[in-house]
Amino acid sequence: MTPGLWHWTQRWLAVVMLLLASLWVMPAVAQNYPSKPIRLIVPSAPGGGIDFTGRVLALKLGAQLGQPVVVDNRAGASGILGADTVAKATPDGHTLLIASSSLAVIPSLYQKLPYDILRDFSPVSLVARTPNLLVVNPAVPARSVSELIALAKAQPAKLNFSSSGAGRASHMAAERFKLMAGINLTHVAYQGTGPAVTAVIAGEVELIFGTIPAVLPHVKSGRLRALGIGSLKRSGLIPEIPTIAQTGLPGYEADTWYGLVAPAAAPRSIVLTLNDATLKSPQSPDTRARFVSDGSEPAGSTPEEFQRFMAAEVTRWEKVVQSAGLRVQ
């Protein structure tokens, strides 16, 4: 064998051995996952639906995966800071994001984002869905949706609504309400659901479209008044509260969804491991009871179904943002 042929053969064998080694290591990586505690980023302040869902999921994922899942609240910039943290994290499945509807809204609101929702994340699964509940401060002289619409028309731009941030589900539910009702309400954004709800209780603003977990306790205590629920059918948890569509705005619907995503380059084996654990989590009676008791409906999907769902949500809310003329610089 000539020296040239000998060296070429040696290099070819080295490449083959490297490929075989990589095929051997990949299953081992999946088998060893997770190898340390997992950080679950909640892109809002403590309190509110996304924080509640994230904490319930973290507890169950930890039990399923055999490693603690630590909740890390990263509020700011309507959830952009938390989402960007995950988009740029090491894609080893140890940093995850509990996403909500706002993840699909933000691309239409902001001209520049540090990430691309459909390119920089790897969808794992839907987790839960919950309708928004329209509540007002008790001092507001409206006891139904139709009365609120009449009040807003009589006092243009006088009524203010709070949200957990621009582009959040609470913001977009109100924007859709404004468009369909033909009224003018002033938006006041807060850093998180908790502060946004507190503002309504304190009378700083008049109303909010909040998730059931965030506002129902205050409705029960009398600190807020519920006017209508954003689903097309009444909630089994609060059947006495009519839908917004029934009491003043036919066809109105707005809910909040929550899902789990990982960085885009996360290995497929890890995504499937997380998907399996996520789907099993709500199946336990105690977890399902916790979701249902707060007005949420456990949900699940394959990673591919969640990817298609997110893409459809981006298109859906883009139309609302354009119609409302919304834009955040």
**pLDDT tens string 73-119:** 999 888 999 999 999 999 999 999 999 998 999 999 888 999 999 99
60: tokens are 């169950």
pLDDT value at residue 31: 63
28 pLDDT higher than 50:
no
**295 conformational bin, left if phi > 0, alpha if psi -120 to 50, beta if neither:** left
Which pLDDT band holds residue 297 (cuts at 50, 70, 90)? confident
The pLDDT value given to residue 11: 52
**Average pLDDT value for the chain:** 88
Give the E-state strand segments of the chain in sequence order. Answer: 38-42, 69-73, 95-100, 121-136, 160-163, 186-189, 207-211, 225-229, 255-263, 297-298
Residue 40 backbone dihedrals phi, psi, to 5 degrees: -105, 110
pLDDT at 10: 53
**pLDDT of 17 strictly over 70:** no
Q: Please say if the pLDDT value at position 23 is more than 70.
A: no
Mean pLDDT of 165-176: 88
Q: Over 60: is that where the pLDDT of 263 sits? A: yes
Helix, strand, or coil (residue 310) = helix
Question: Count of CB atoms within 10 A of residue 153's CB?
Answer: 12
Are residues 303 and 123 in contact, defined by beta-carbon separation less than 8 angstroms?
Answer: yes
Write down the pLDDT at residue 262: 98
Residue 162 in 3-state DSSP?
A: strand
**Which tokens belong to 127?**
């987790």
pLDDT at 307 over 80: yes
Please state the pTM of the whole predicted model. Answer: 0.77
Q: What is residue 30's predicted lDDT score, i.e. its pLDDT?
A: 52
Domain architecture of the chain: domains with CATH: 35-130+256-324 (3.40.190.150), 131-229 (3.40.190.10)
Give residue 164's pLDDT: 85
Which has more confidence, 236 or 53?
Answer: 53
292 vs 197: which has the higher pLDDT = 197
For residue 34, say if its preceding peptide bond is cis, omega within 30 degrees of 0: yes
